[in-house]
Amino acid sequence: MLEHTDHASNLGSKIRALRSKLGRTLEEIAVASGLSKAFLSQVERGLANPSIMSVKHIAGALGVEVSLLFQTPSEEISIRRREQLEFANFLDSENSFAQLTRLSGRRRLESVLVRLPSGQAPLEIAGFAGQDFLLVIAGGVVLKLGSDAFILGEGDSIHYESPVPHSWVNAGRKDSIVIRVRATREKA
């Protein structure tokens, strides 16, 4: 059983908000979860402390992971301030990378700020089950995707499927800056 009343009230509020957002009735969630309508009403109002197993059944009826019901707003929202950016090099690359967002839990987007110095070797990227989006902030980049090459200048963007290896290279004489957003496929 959940112990603290504030937690029960917060959990109940989240369940009610999610149920309402989905357009589901208490009756529908009761049937789908195997719990009584009266008990669910008490949970939503913070008057009952559900067991972990009850929370699991409620989450299943709502079609969400249990962890979503326990996330705090700070876990649901990710803000990266300019002064928090830390650039790092890896994979024997001259490029430097600053993580903007990370893949975690239900999040399927990862974004990275990439600095590509002029004259560096192409950045080879392994294919993966998902999509990439690039936005050139400064400079220019050549993206090689299979046998095709795409020249992107400042302000240009491209969105593509990423199942095959591909590469980027700085196309100019000054450093280029790119935002890369990668979206992974949901696991079946």
CATH number at residue 64: 1.10.260.40
Q: How confident is the model at residue 135 (pLDDT cuts 50, 70, 90)?
A: very high
Q: Say whether both 111 and 46 belong to one domain.
A: no
Backbone φ/ψ region at 149: left (φ over 0), alpha (ψ -120 to 50), beta: beta
Q: Which of 76, 94, 111 is where one domain is finished?
A: 76
Q: Say whether both 96 and 165 belong to one domain.
A: yes
**pTM of model > 0.85:** no
% pLDDT > 70, the chain: 86
- Is 4 a residue whose pLDDT tops 60? no
- Is 2 a residue whose pLDDT tops 70? no
Evaluate whether 120 touches 95 at the Cβ level (below 8 Å): yes
Q: Which of 76, 92, 120 is where one domain is finished?
A: 76
> What are the E-state strand segments in 82-146?
96-101, 109-116, 123-125, 130-138, 140-145
Overall number of domains in the chain: 2
Q: Say whether both 86 and 127 belong to one domain.
A: yes
Q: Say whether both 177 and 88 belong to one domain.
A: yes
Q: Say whether both 133 and 71 belong to one domain.
A: no
Which residue range(s) make up the domain with 51? 5-76
Q: How confident is the model at residue 57 (pLDDT cuts 50, 70, 90)?
A: very high
% pLDDT > 90, the chain: 34
Q: Say whether both 96 and 179 belong to one domain.
A: yes
Q: Say whether both 88 and 161 belong to one domain.
A: yes
Q: How confident is the model at residue 159 (pLDDT cuts 50, 70, 90)?
A: very high
Mean pLDDT of 132-156: 94
Q: Say whether both 143 and 60 belong to one domain.
A: no
Evaluate whether 97 touches 87 at the Cβ level (below 8 Å): yes
Q: How confident is the model at residue 1 (pLDDT cuts 50, 70, 90)?
A: very low
- Is 79 a residue whose pLDDT tops 60? yes
Q: Say whether both 32 and 114 belong to one domain.
A: no
